Structure 1
Amino acid sequence: MRVADHISLKLKETFAPQQLEVVDESHLHAGHAGAPEGGQSHFRVFMRAETLDGLNRVAVQRRIYAALKAEMAGPIHALALDVAAR
């Protein structure tokens, strides 16, 4: 399974988002430090989830990073977030 699929699965299970898109942007970072051969290391997440309602930006980021703890320790080098409650 691709890393983007793991990210999507975990975010769906954790936040039940109304909208979710995980984009692998690794090709934009080819040759940079931390960019492994073959990519699957740099991602952008667009997510809208009511479960995040009332949380500030830092709290949202902490919850997302907690949900993706294993991936952040392994294949993910960079994760850009565009996340809102709705």
Structure 2
Amino acid sequence: MRQRLAALAPTRLELIDDSARHAGHAGARSGGGHYRLLIVAAAFAGQTRLRRHRLVHAALGELMHDRIHALSVQALSPQEASSAAEPTV
């Protein structure tokens, strides 16, 4: 996942695997993981939240259909990240 997200040239990338917290969940049984993502990239500047999520999903490609069951995304521009109080995943 990190390799795919590198296409967005992030200045910060935090990816947390929460799959263990969802043991027994239908998505976990089928092999799909649950993840939280904080990504900061210039590509997000001036983009809507929806467009940012679409950029992340496009970068992850087919992983969104098999390896990832759930993904919580916090996508910020560098300016937003520097002006916000320490963003957390």
- What TM-score bracket applies, with the shorter chain setting the length? 0.7 to 0.9
TM-score (normalizing by structure 1): 0.82
Q: Distance in 1 between matches of 2:16 and 2:29?
A: 17
User: Is the counterpart of residue 36 in structure 1 residue 29 in structure 2?
Assistant: yes
Unaligned runs of 5+ residues in structure 2 are: 79-89
Corresponding residue number in structure 2 for 1:68: 60
Unaligned runs of 5+ residues in structure 1 are: 1-6
TM-score (normalizing by structure 2): 0.80
Corresponding residue number in structure 1 for 2:73: 81
CA contact under 8 A between 1:22 and 1:45: conserved in structure 2? yes
Corresponding residue number in structure 1 for 2:5: 11
The CA deviation at 1:40 is: 6.0
Per-residue CA deviation, residues 16-53 of structure 1 (Å, 9 max, x unaligned), is 1110011100011001121137x661111111111211
CA contact under 8 A between 1:24 and 1:40: conserved in structure 2? no
How many residue pairs get matched? 78
Corresponding residue number in structure 1 for 2:49: 57
Kindly name which structure, 1 or 2, has the bigger radius of gyration based on alpha carbons: 2
Corresponding residue number in structure 2 for 1:21: 14
DSSP-derived class of the 2:26 partner = coil
> 4+ residue runs of structure 1 moved beyond 4 angstroms?
none
Q: Distance in 1 between matches of 2:53 and 2:24?
A: 27
AA in 2 matched with 1:21: E
